[in-house]
Chains A and B, each alone.
Chain A
Amino acid sequence: MDKRILDIAAIAAALVAPVFFGPYGHYIMCMATIYAMVSLSLNVLVSEAGLISIGHAGFWAVGAYGSAVLVERVGVPFEVSVVAAAGLAGLVGVVVGLPALRVRGHYLAIATLGFSLVLVHVLYEWDGLTGGRQGMFVQRPSLFGWSLAEDRQAYYLCLAIFGLLVLLVRNFRRSLGGLSINALRQSELAAQCCGIDLAASRLFAFAFSAALTGASGALYGAVLGQLSTDSFTLVVSLSFLTMAVVGGMSSVWGAVLGGLFLAGAPEGLRAFEKWQMLIYGVLLIVFIRVLPKGLASLPERLAPLIGGRR
Chain B
Amino acid sequence: MSPALRVRDLSVYFGGLKAVDGVGFSVEPGVVCGLIGPNGAGKTTLLNCLTRITRPTSGSIEAFGRDVLRLPIHAITRIGMMRTFQNLELFGDLTTLDNIAMGCAHRFRTGLLSELLALPSARRAREAAYGEAEAMLVELGLAEHRDRRVSDLSFGTRKNVELARALCSRPKLMLMDEPAAGLNGAESAELGRRIRRFATERGITVLLVEHDMPLVMSACDKIVVVVQGRKIAEGKPEEIRRNPEVIDAYLGEG
Residues of B within 8 A of A180 (CB): 102, 105-106, 109
Shortest Cβ distance from residue A198 to the other chain B in the assembled complex, whole angstroms: 7
Q: Mark A185-227, 1 if CB is under 8 A from B, else 0.
A: 0110111111111100000100010000000000000000000
Given A176-B129, A186-B91: A192 and B102 within 8 A (CB)? no
Residues of A within 8 A of B103 (CB): 194
Given A176-B129, A179-B102: A191 and B116 within 8 A (CB)? no
Tell which of B92, B98, B115 has the most Cβ of chain A within 10 Å. Answer: B115
Are B105 and A190 closer than 8 Å at their CB atoms?
A: no
- Interface residue A182 (Cβ < 8 Å from any Cβ of B): yes
Residues of A within 8 A of B75 (CB): 195
Instruction: Across the interface, name the chain A residue whose C-beta is closest to B175.
Output: A193
- Find residues 109-159 in chain B having any chain A CB closer than 8 Å to their own CB: 109, 112, 115-118, 122, 125-126, 129
- Interface residue B77 (Cβ < 8 Å from any Cβ of A): yes
Shortest Cβ distance from residue A27 to the other chain B in the assembled complex, whole angstroms: 31
Given A177-B109, A191-B102, A204-B112: A186 and B74 within 8 A (CB)? no
Q: Which of B82-90, B199-207, B215-223 contacts A (4 or more CB under 8 A)?
A: B82-90
Which of B91, B112, B129 makes the CB contact (< 8 A) with A191? B91
Given A177-B115, A180-B102: A195 and B78 within 8 A (CB)? yes
Residues of A within 8 A of B129 (CB): 176
Instruction: Across the interface, name the chain A residue whose C-beta is closest to B162.
Output: A190
Are A193 and B105 closer than 8 Å at their CB atoms?
A: no
Residues of B within 8 A of A175 (CB): 115-116, 118, 122, 126
A180 to B103, CA, bound (A): 10
- Interface residue B53 (Cβ < 8 Å from any Cβ of A): yes
- Interface residue A183 (Cβ < 8 Å from any Cβ of B): yes
Are A183 and B94 closer than 8 Å at their CB atoms?
A: yes
Shortest Cβ distance from residue B112 to the other chain A in the assembled complex, whole angstroms: 5
Give the size range of B's interface with the partner: 35 or more
A179 to B51, CA, bound (A): 22
Which of A172, A176, A183, A208 makes the CB contact (< 8 A) with B109? A176
- Interface residue A168 (Cβ < 8 Å from any Cβ of B): yes
Instruction: Across the interface, name the chain A residue whose C-beta is closest to B88.
Output: A190
A265 to B107, CA, bound (A): 48
Which of A171, A186, A208 makes the CB contact (< 8 A) with B117? A171
Are A194 and B115 closer than 8 Å at their CB atoms?
A: no
Shortest Cβ distance from residue B146 to the other chain A in the assembled complex, whole angstroms: 15
Given A176-B109, A186-B94: A194 and B165 within 8 A (CB)? yes
- Interface residue B250 (Cβ < 8 Å from any Cβ of A): no
- Interface residue A178 (Cβ < 8 Å from any Cβ of B): yes
Residues of A within 8 A of B92 (CB): 186-187
Are B91 and A182 closer than 8 Å at their CB atoms?
A: yes
- Interface residue A3 (Cβ < 8 Å from any Cβ of B): no
- Interface residue B11 (Cβ < 8 Å from any Cβ of A): no
- Interface residue B238 (Cβ < 8 Å from any Cβ of A): no
A-B contact pairs, 17 of them (CB 8 A): A168-B117, A172-B116, A175-B118, A175-B122, A175-B126, A176-B129, A177-B115, A180-B102, A180-B109, A186-B94, A190-B89, A190-B102, A194-B169, A195-B105, A197-B72, A198-B73, A204-B112
CB-CB nearest 4 A-B residue pairs: A195-B106, A175-B115, A190-B89, A171-B118
